[in-house]
Amino acid sequence: MKNILKIIIIVLIILILKEVMLTLYLNKKNKYEVNSYYSNNTSFNYKSNMILVIPKISIKNVVKKANRNFSNLNKSLVYYDNDDYNNKIIIFGHSGVGYGTFFNRLDELEVKNYAYINKDKFKITYKLSNKYLVNKSDISVLNSNEKRVLYLITCDKKDKNKRLILKFCVKKVQTLKK
């Protein structure tokens, strides 16, 4: 019985260490990519990546284009279909526990908080206008024809069958001097 308990404890320690190591790796990689953007480093993919900044909850992350099955959502924030601020940008991220939970504090934002997207040579300022929950099967946001809005979408921490949606509207567009 003692041997089984020891094995269980060892396995748990290994699993926890794996989570910690993956989290540290993803954070380091993200920080490098963000710094690459601001320093005009050619390692940043300017054609498809952008930077999401939300000071209120300490987010400064690279956002990548979602692949076909959204499998890259486990390692980064991803946008769906469009990255042009004149249209609708939808960004997905995980919340909860474990690595890749970049939207873990999204629920703390309140109407009138700000988010920023840095894309190419532009800094787009968005203001939160609405925050609400929908059923996870509700795809109306994907099908809407809105312009100059940003949606941030994640799982609700209390109900895995719900999605938390934050809608931001463009307030200002600036050209960056990089």
| Residue reference for tokens 């840095």 | 118
Judged on CB neighbours under 10 Å (0-12, 13-18, 19+), 75 is middle
Using alpha carbons, list the distances in angstroms from residue 147 to 3, 62, 137, 141. 61, 22, 23, 12
Q: In this predicted structure, what is the pLDDT of residue 38?
A: 82
Q: In the chain, pLDDT over 90 holds for what percent of residues?
A: 54
Q: Mean pLDDT throughout 13-40?
A: 86
Residue-level length of the chain: 178
Cβ atoms within 10 Å, residue 165? 20
Q: In this predicted structure, what is the pLDDT of residue 41?
A: 82
pTM: predicted TM-score of the whole model, two decimal places: 0.86
Is 19 a residue whose pLDDT tops 90? no
- 50-61 residue pLDDT tens: 999 999 999 999
Structure tokens belonging to residue 55: 């000071």
CA dihedral 69, 121, 46, 139 (to 10 degrees): 10
Domain residue limits, the chain: 2-175
The domain made up of 2-175 has a fold known as: Sortase; Chain: A; (2.40.260)
